[in-house]
């Protein structure tokens, strides 16, 4: 089935002719992507990944996941940015935001190395006490400080608990095929290693071992995910704006940007989608936000956030449009019974499924927000399962790449991420940063 674009709620904000006017630019962006002639063309491995992935490694991922499921109560996934968000999003969406607390025959999964907060790590270490654990450390560059630091701590824990030999059975590395400190360490210690292909950037890597190993450990069907992505690859490769929903979405958001909108608010009515929104924000934010251009990606989960940011959306600065992910069928439903006393006055909601109430909240909100001057794009998803997840990942990745080219930026680099690192290293006294350290300290103390 796959994600579908619905432009119905753009009426009064964007005419069909405005989207049509981008036809030539969409075609140009499509050709740049498919002929590998655009900016960042060294990083297009994700385009054909659903068909051209390493089948041998895929089987190895499944075997490693089965081993972890068998010998571990806890899997710690260490990574940051594109090296963790996709896996976490998939596990919350496909299994549950309550995954770790559910009754299940798969290990609990926690994420580390995505911050440098000591309390977070101390709490995680105490969760691991007395439990059998495995580690999956993920870093394409193999040099990122946050995961490297967390890995140092968890490697020490695991070696103390199981010895060097035992640790080898429980540490799985996902990194570059040849380069980086992590790769060197894996070679030295003999850890099982999975490869992030050279031409797949971090935020486009969820369909590689980066995402697939933790997702498989959580018990999701990674074969079905790849099949969903393949369906998207096939359907969304047509260079025809009228027939390609991904291109319609990219064109519509670009039109709204040109008309003065500076923020895209990704909306869902399902709390299990919240981490998908985090993945989306990283994908689009790091890809588009450069050269003083780009839509700021933000997200909300309704109806929760209707009681916080909803006020701003309805009546605050008119700077945003919303992209609402409309999941047609929830994974589970709940029947609302009639109450004889009707003390809470809620019998008008009874004798129907709760999903109907959520749907009316969706309809009511779209009408309220468009009425308040906020354009709404709707992206329809038939249901939540592995196939739809794979489709959605590919849909958003492609929409992001096309959006970057429409904007005239390189969607596949992230030069701005280096600035904070340089300052942090200098302030911490990393060798080679001596002159920057003095200048920064003068600023702080001045």
Name the residues annotated as catalytic: 286, 421
Is residue 324 within 8 Å of 377, Cβ to Cβ?
yes
Shortest distance, position 141 Cβ to ligand PA5, whole Å: 3
Is residue 321 within 8 Å of 374, Cβ to Cβ?
yes
Q: Is the peptide bond before 303 cis (omega within 30 degrees of 0)?
A: yes
CA dist 433 and 446 (Å) reads 20
Residues 6 or more apart in contact with residue 393 via CB below 8 angstroms: 86, 206, 207, 225, 229, 232
Whichever of 139 and 403 has its CB closer to ligand PA5, that residue is 139
Whichever of 81 and 375 has its CB closer to ligand PA5, that residue is 81
| Segment near ligand PA5 (CB under 6 A); pick from 24-32, 134-142, 250-258, 353-361 | 134-142
Whichever of 138 and 306 has its CB closer to ligand PA5, that residue is 138
Residue 75 tokens read as 């899997």
- The verdict on 326 binding ligand PA5 (CB under 6 A) reads no
CA dist 15 and 255 (Å) reads 10
Of 385-444, binders to ligand PA5 (CB under 6 A) are: 414
CA dist 114 and 299 (Å) reads 19
Shortest distance, position 422 Cβ to ligand PA5, whole Å: 14
CA dist 255 and 249 (Å) reads 10
Question: Site mask, ligand PA5, residues 4-43, x = CB under 6 A?
Answer: ----------------------------------------
Is residue 16 within 8 Å of 384, Cβ to Cβ?
no
For residue 76, give the 3-state DSSP assignment: strand
Is residue 422 within 8 Å of 309, Cβ to Cβ?
no
Question: Site mask, ligand PA5, residues 182-201, x = CB under 6 A?
Answer: -------------------x
Shortest distance, position 77 Cβ to ligand PA5, whole Å: 12
CA dist 99 and 92 (Å) reads 7
Residue sitting closest to ligand PA5 (CB): 202
- Among 2, 38, 81, 228, which residue sits at the site for ligand PA5 (rule: CB under 6 A)? 81
Shortest distance, position 326 Cβ to ligand PA5, whole Å: 27
Whichever of 107 and 147 has its CB closer to ligand PA5, that residue is 147
Distances (CA, A) of 294 to 231, 265, 403: 29, 13, 9
Shortest distance, position 205 Cβ to ligand PA5, whole Å: 7
Of 262-321, binders to ligand PA5 (CB under 6 A) are: 286
Instruction: Point out which residues bind ligand PA5 (CB under 6 A).
Output: 80-83, 139-141, 144, 147, 201-203, 286, 414
């Amino acid at each position: 089935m796959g994600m579908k674009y619905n432009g119905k709620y753009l009426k009064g904000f964007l005419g069909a002719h405005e989207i049509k006017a981008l036809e030539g630019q969409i075609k140009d962006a499509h050709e740049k992507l498919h002929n590998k002639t655009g900016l960042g063309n060294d990083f297009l491995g994700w385009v054909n990944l659903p068909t051209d992935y390493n089948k041998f490694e895929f089987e190895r991922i499944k075997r490693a996941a089965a081993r972890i499921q068998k010998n571990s109560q806890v899997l710690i996934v260490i990574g940051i940015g594109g090296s963790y968000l996709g896996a976490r999003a998939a596990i919350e969406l496909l299994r549950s935001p309550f995954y770790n607390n559910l009754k299940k025959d798969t290990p609990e999964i926690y994420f580390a190395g995505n911050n440098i907060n000591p309390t977070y790590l101390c709490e995680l270490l105490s969760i691991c006490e007395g439990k059998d654990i495995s580690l999956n450390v993920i870093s394409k560059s193999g040099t990122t400080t946050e995961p490297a630091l967390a890995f140092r701590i968890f490697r020490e824990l695991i070696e103390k608990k199981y010895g060097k030999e035992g640790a080898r059975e429980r540490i799985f590395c996902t990194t570059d095929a040849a380069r980086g400190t992590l790769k060197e360490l894996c070679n030295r210690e003999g850890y099982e290693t999975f490869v992030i292909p050279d031409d797949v950037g971090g935020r486009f890597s969820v369909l590689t071992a980066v995402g697939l190993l933790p997702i498989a450990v959580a018990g999701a069907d990674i074969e079905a995910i790849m099949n969903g992505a393949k369906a998207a690859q096939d359907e969304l490769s047509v260079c025809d704006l009228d027939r390609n929903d991904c291109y319609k979405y990219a064109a519509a958001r670009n039109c709204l940007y040109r008309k003065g909108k500076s923020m895209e608010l990704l909306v869902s009515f399902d709390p299990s989608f919240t981490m998908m929104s985090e993945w989306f924000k990283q994908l689009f934010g790091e890809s588009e936000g450069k050269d003083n251009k780009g839509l700021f990606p933000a997200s909300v989960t309704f109806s929760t956030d209707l009681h916080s940011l909803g006020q701003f959306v309805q009546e605050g600065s008119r700077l945003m449009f919303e992209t609402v992910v409309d999941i047609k069928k929830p994974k589970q439903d709940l029947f609302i019974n009639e109450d004889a006393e009707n003390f809470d006055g809620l019998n008008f909601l009874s004798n129907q499924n709760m999903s109907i109430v959520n749907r009316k909240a969706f309809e009511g909100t779209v009408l309220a927000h468009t009425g308040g001057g906020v354009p709404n794009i709707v992206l329809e998803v038939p249901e939540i399962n592995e196939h739809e997840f794979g489709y959605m990942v590919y849909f958003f990745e492609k929409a992001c790449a096309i959006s970057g080219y429409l904007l005239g930026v390189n969607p596949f680099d992230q030069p701005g991420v280096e600035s904070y690192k340089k300052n942090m290293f200098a302030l911490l006294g990393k060798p080679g940063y001596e002159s920057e350290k003095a200048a920064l300290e003068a600023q702080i103390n001045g």
